[in-house]
Amino acid sequence: MIIIMLGAPASGKGSVAEILTKELNIPAVSSGDIFRKHISEETEIGKKLKEYVTKGELVPDSIVLEMLEARLNEEDAKNGLILDGFVRTIPQAEALDKMLEARNQKIDLVVNLETSDEEILERVVNRRICKNCKAVYNTVLHPSAVKGKCDKCGGELYQRDDDTLERAKNRLEVYYKETAPLQEYYEKTGALYTTTLSVKINRMKDEVAHDVIEYLKTK
């Protein structure tokens, strides 16, 4: 089973994917985590990635697809996976369709999360991440018990370089221009499932994930 998490930056894709991976017993693959791993290890791909990620711009399709194909070939992905951050453009979606077709696979579901721009910007600028276990907090909505320390492992919390208001606005602009058209693309294939995740209307990640699981039972 191949599931794509679609939605604007900080719309909650990773949080829902984390729950789905446990329920469906398939791994969740975050493009952001893979990108940051290459950047931190200063690989050749990482050096190229850094130029785009730090500016909040889309990474070229050729680089994205190279990493995605390698991930699909790993042992834990043999029964499928959840793609968080892949794909981001229609050309990427078309290339992925061809790649999966060659493997006798297909996109089973595209979960499209809707959240207001105002709430997304609030999430981004207040987001903090544990340097050790990568747990995610929000200084307003979900603060740690001890300021600057992770509740799970005691690690130091930090703000990513690209989690600024200016870069968040730029990422949203790029999303609406390059990625949002994928909604129509996947709607035509019958794979799109649109739902809302919003703290302000008390529709949380657990409820969204539950609805996705129930929807899959009808397919």
Residue among 127, 128, 167, 205 flagged as catalytic: 127
Report whether 28 contacts 17 (CB < 8 A). yes
For 171-185, b where at least 16 C-beta lie within 10 A, e where not — what string? bbebbeebbeebbeb
Residue 127 annotated among the catalytic residues of the structure: yes
Buried b (16+ CB within 10 A) or exposed e, 115-129: beeebbbbbbbbbbb
Catalytic residue check, 128: no
Structure token digits, residue 210: 């539950």
- Active-site residue, selected from the candidate residues 88, 123, 128, 205: 88
Q: What distance in Å separates the CA atoms of residue 41 and residue 53, rounded to the nearest whole number? A: 15
Asked if 88 is an active-site residue, the reply is yes
Q: How many residues does the chain have?
A: 219
Active site residue 71: no
Residue of 13, 123, 128, 205 with catalytic role: 13
Q: Name the catalytic one among 48, 71, 134, 160.
A: 160
- Identify the active-site residue in 128, 167, 171, 205: 171
Q: Are 7 and 84 within 8 A, CB to CB? A: no
The pair of three-digit structure tokens given for residue 72, joined into one six-digit string: 């699909």
Active site amino acids: 13, 88, 127, 160, 171
